[in-house]
């Protein structure tokens, strides 16, 4: 969000930004990224002027929503690692990522639209999610819960590709990801 140029954001302004991002996430998942600004502003409980003050271009909003969702997915990795055994933490994170991909179909179309505003986002995606998944994958491999020859980037792409094809609300993607997770376990050296 370029609206503050690195300055501290007032509490009420940050509350409006958060409300707009939350509303946009919901609206994008049901109406797509081209949903009317009025719909997003109304769901956020702010005026259209407030919307445009924080997000002058639609691409600013799409970018902010995408970054926020990527960050939330990446930040889930250490929490899962602290709560579950390595193999279970990895599986739960992969399903979390699956849900992220399934609900971001409209964002994916926008990101691949050729709009130069989105050019940096694929790298951001890999920079944030690659290490998050890498840590979980390394721990699960060391614990013997999954096979060793899988890279985080390959796994991110595999899950993404499996989720894109499903048309039944993400259920198809989740079923395909379950098969992928079973495949990760095949040939793993369980340590007890």
Handedness of CA 171, 176, 178, 181 (dihedral sign): negative
pLDDT confidence of residue 101: 82
144-to-79, 130, 149, 167, 187 alpha-carbon distances in Å: 21, 20, 12, 34, 9
**DSSP codes, 48-98:** HHHHHHH-SSHHHHHHHHHHHHHHHHHHHHHHHHHHS-HHHHHHHHHHHHH
pLDDT at residue 119 in the model: 85
As given in the structure block, the two tokens for residue 31 are 């109406």
Amino acid 190: pLDDT: 63
Low-confidence ranges of the chain (pLDDT < 70): 1-7, 9, 103-106, 165-170, 189-192
Q: CA 103 → CA 12, 31, 47, 88, distances in Å?
A: 28, 11, 26, 23
Which tens digit of pLDDT belongs to each residue from 148-166?
889 999 999 999 888 776 5
Query: Exposed, middle or buried by CB within 10 Å (0-12, 13-18, 19+), for 1?
Result: middle
CA 107 to chain centroid: 10
Tell me, what DSSP letter sits at residue 119?
Answer: T
Q: How far is it, in rounded angstroms, from Cα 36 to Cα 9?
A: 26
Identify the structural domains of the chain with CATH numbers, from first to last. Answer: 1-56 (1.10.10.60), 59-185 (1.10.357.10)
């Amino acid at each position: 969000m370029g609206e503050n140029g690195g300055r501290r954001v007032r509490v009420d302004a940050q509350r409006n930004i958060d409300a707009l991002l939350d509303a946009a996430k919901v609206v994008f998942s049901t109406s797509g990224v081209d949903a009317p600004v009025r719909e997003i502003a109304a769901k956020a409980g702010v005026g259209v002027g407030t919307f445009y003050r924080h997000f002058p271009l639609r691409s600013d909003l799409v970018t902010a929503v995408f970054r926020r969702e990527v960050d939330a997915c990446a930040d889930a990795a250490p929490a899962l690692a602290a709560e579950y055994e390595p193999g279970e933490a990895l599986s739960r994170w992969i399903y979390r990522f699956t849900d992220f991909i399934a609900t971001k179909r409209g964002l994916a179309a926008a990101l691949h639209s050729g709009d130069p505003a989105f050019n940096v986002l694929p790298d951001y995606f890999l920079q944030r999610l690659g290490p998050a998944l890498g840590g979980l994958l390394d721990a699960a491999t060391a614990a013997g819960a999954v096979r060793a020859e899988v890279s985080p980037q390959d796994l991110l792409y595999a899950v993404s590709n499996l989720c894109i094809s499903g048309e039944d609300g993400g259920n198809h993607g989740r079923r395909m990801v379950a098969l992928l997770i079973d495949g990760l376990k095949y040939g793993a050296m369980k340590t007890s």
